[in-house]
Amino acid sequence: AIAGCTGADETVPVVEKVTIIDVKYIVGIDGEYPPYSYIDKDGNPTGFDVESIEWIADKKGFDVEVQPMAWDGIIPALQAGKIDMVYSGMTINEERLEKVNFSKPYWVANQAVAVRADSEITLDDYKAGKVVCGAQRGSTAAEWIETNLIETELMPKDNLKLYDNFPLAIADLENKRIDAAMYDTPVVKDIIAEKDDVVMLGTIQTDEEYGIAVRKDDVRLLNTLNDGLDMLMADPYWDELIEKYKLA
Ligand code: ARG
């Protein structure tokens, strides 16, 4: 008890020492998702999403370690605590919301179909399920094909070829193993930009919103990220990034 305080037996809590703990979050990405997340010439992860989280981390006072990994297992890795967030052009959808939480949307994308430059396929052929098509395993592109072409019986199941990442699908397209490949428009544009044997046939409007995925119980991180996204999207740096990664 301290003299002068009310109640003779009152215990006064004493803060002995304040320790500042460095918080570090591990960010899972697909390293083959330019311009959002990819590996640069020197082997370092970079891209629109990677630079976004580095900026947010700096403003909000935490450290990040960016970890490239297989897209197909990225949500299980998040749930298992191997990574703390997925920041890699992940579309917010119902199926994923059953397993993880998402930040507010920071981008909207559609799907694009790529074909060989000398191909005679039309977008109508594609939408009618008449071609052998490639997509990334576990992507919304693969899901679009399953829902709109396979389940409707427009296309036989075997006409969908799944790949671990999109560049592998493009390689098979160039080698004539498949006739078309589907993926998010900004990524298709980026990946085929330097190629003259592959072109974009057209786009299919899906209005997919990208968000950062976190574990369901990680409410604190979710709030921090939403706050960080607000700050970033209101900052001139946001437009710089959009320009740098040719996303405008
Ligand atoms: N937006 C699509 C999806 O959520 C494709 C994302 C693939 N992202 C990636 N980093 N590979 O499925």
Q: Would you say residue 1 has pLDDT above 70?
A: no
Domain 24-106+211-244 and domain 109-208 have a common topology: yes
Tell me the CA–centroid distance for residue 139 and ligand 1, in Å.
5
User: What are 24's two structure tokens?
Assistant: 């570090």
Tell me the CA–centroid distance for residue 206 and ligand 1, in Å.
13
Q: Would you say residue 53 has pLDDT above 80?
A: yes
Q: What sign results for the dihedral spanned by CA atoms 138, 142, 147, 151?
A: negative
Average pLDDT over every residue of 52-56: 98
**Spatial distance between the Cα atoms of 208 and 121, rounded to a whole number of angstroms:** 25
Domain residue ranges in the chain = 24-106+211-244, 109-208
Tell me the CA–centroid distance for residue 199 and ligand 1, in Å.
20
Cα–Cα nearest to 195, from 114, 112, 134, 125: 114
Average pLDDT over every residue of 137-156: 98
Please list every protein residue whose CB sits less than 6 Å from any atom of ligand 1.
30, 33, 37, 71, 88-91, 139-140, 184, 208
Q: Are 181 and 45 in contact (CB under 8 A)?
A: no
Q: Would you say residue 5 has pLDDT above 90?
A: no
CATH number of the domain located at residue range(s) 24-106+211-244 in this protein: 3.40.190.10
Cα–Cα nearest to 140, from 176, 105, 99, 92: 92
**Spatial distance between the Cα atoms of 164 and 136, rounded to a whole number of angstroms:** 6
Confirm or reject CATH 3.40.190.10 for domain 109-208, answering yes or no: yes
Query: Side chain identity at 149, as an amino acid letter?
Result: L
**Band of pLDDT at residue 10, cut at 50, 70 and 90:** low
Q: Would you say residue 14 has pLDDT above 80?
A: no
Which of 74, 103, 107, 184 to mutate to test ligand 1, by most ligand atoms within 8 A of the CB atom?
184
Q: Is the ipTM of this structure higher than 0.95? A: yes
- How many Cβ atoms from other residues are within 10 Å of residue 21's Cβ? 5
Model confidence pLDDT, tens digit, residues 171-221: 999 999 999 999 999 999 999 999 999 999 999 999 999 999 999 999 999
Percent of the chain clearing pLDDT 70 (strictly above):
92
